[in-house]
Structure 1
Amino acid sequence: MPWAYLLECDDGTYYAGSTVDLDARIWQHNHDDDLGAAYTRSRRPVVLVWSGWFDRIEDAYAFEKQIQGWNRRKRQALINNEWHQLPALSRRSAVQRRDAEADHPDPPSR
Structure 2
Amino acid sequence: FDGRGYIQEELAKLNHFFRDYRANKIKSIDPRLFDQLYRLQGLLGTRKPVQLISGYRSIDTNNELRARSRGVAKKSYHTKGQAMDFHIEGIALSNIRKAALS
Smaller-chain TM-score bracket: under 0.3
* TM-score of the two chains, using structure 1 as the length reference: 0.26
* TM-score of the two chains, using structure 2 as the length reference: 0.27
Q: Which has the higher strand share?
A: 1
